[in-house]
Amino acid sequence: MSIDFRNRHFISTQDFEKDEIDLMMNVSYEMKKKFALGEPTRYLPDKTCFLIFFDQSTRTRNSMEAGMTQLGGHAHFLAPEHMQVSHGETPRDTAIVLGRFGHGIAIRHCKFKVGNPFLKDLCQHARVPIMNLQDDVYHPFQGLADLMTIQEKFSNNLKGLKVVISWAYAESHLKPLSVPQTQILLFPRYGMDVTLAYPEGFDLMPDIVDTARRNAEKTGSKFTITHDMTESFKGADVVIAKNWGGFFVGDTEEAIRKEQAKHKDWLCDRKKMELANKNAIYMHALPADRNKEVTDEVIDGPWSVVFDEAENRLHTAKAVMALTMGGRP
């Protein structure tokens, strides 16, 4: 295994070997321990990370900003509408210039079929690491925080753990595919049995599903797709019920919302959670559409680990930044 992460781009967990992800997790645990003890983690003194957000964020932006401060550096928030990209400046020129000013560039760009190509364009031209803060395909920082949370709750041997990743109804906005796609790619690599549940038509990207299946085959874990939410919860150890937009059921937001509205019964409630195993946990990347995706009773109840999951965004963000922007002298 190479321990040299310097200047490596962090676009998808799929770009990293499993033992490299293990190292990211170990560093995340170290960051968490030091945070709890009030010990300094100044691994990036005087370094700058540029954060470009094409979309709204609470957890991602603030875990990166707080994380950079705790690492001894500075995170510089950039809104594209105040950048020259809004006048058509290319990703290439943006990457070259910001790369000359600082030490890392992190971007959230979730627009379907636009975000991931934009990030890939930056990667080709930046001489500093590009970090994916969520695009239309992947949300790797969320994936690491989710993995950390599951490891904390179930220990390191996750072989055979049943994880249900279920679509759920929402109205707030068309949520990207990138959270469930990252989860179905990552969890089978750790031996977890993934059940993906969604109403007919709300498919994830076919190439991502194919890769997830191959990941499962390699570790001998199960990868199952069902269109029955209730059935999927039976015997689950981990339930992750959240919305994704259904970008293949309609061409316009109006058409997709019309399709979504047919599935308001895809709600994670007590009755369904009681079908899961006794010690099952409920996870959600947040923000949640309360009482549409999940009832208050579940998200605020004994199953829920959503705030531990959110906190782990900080520790994993610090680990990835320290490894890619810092590293060996």
Using CB under 6 A, list all residues that contact ligand CP.
57-60, 134, 142, 285-287
Least distance from ligand CP to the Cβ atom of residue 247, Å: 18
282 and 294 in contact (C-beta within 8 Å)? yes
By C-beta, is 150 or 285 nearer to ligand CP? 285
By C-beta, is 260 or 316 nearer to ligand CP? 316
By C-beta, is 221 or 243 nearer to ligand CP? 243
By C-beta, is 18 or 111 nearer to ligand CP? 111
Least distance from ligand CP to the Cβ atom of residue 139, Å: 6
Least distance from ligand CP to the Cβ atom of residue 132, Å: 11
Nearest to ligand CP by Cβ — which residue?
A: 60
Stated length of the chain = 329
Cα distances from 313 to residues 28, 88, 140, 285, in angstroms, run 9, 32, 10, 10
Least distance from ligand CP to the Cβ atom of residue 61, Å: 6
Least distance from ligand CP to the Cβ atom of residue 122, Å: 19
Least distance from ligand CP to the Cβ atom of residue 142, Å: 5
By C-beta, is 59 or 162 nearer to ligand CP? 59
By C-beta, is 57 or 230 nearer to ligand CP? 57
Omega before 176 within 30 of 0, i.e. cis: no
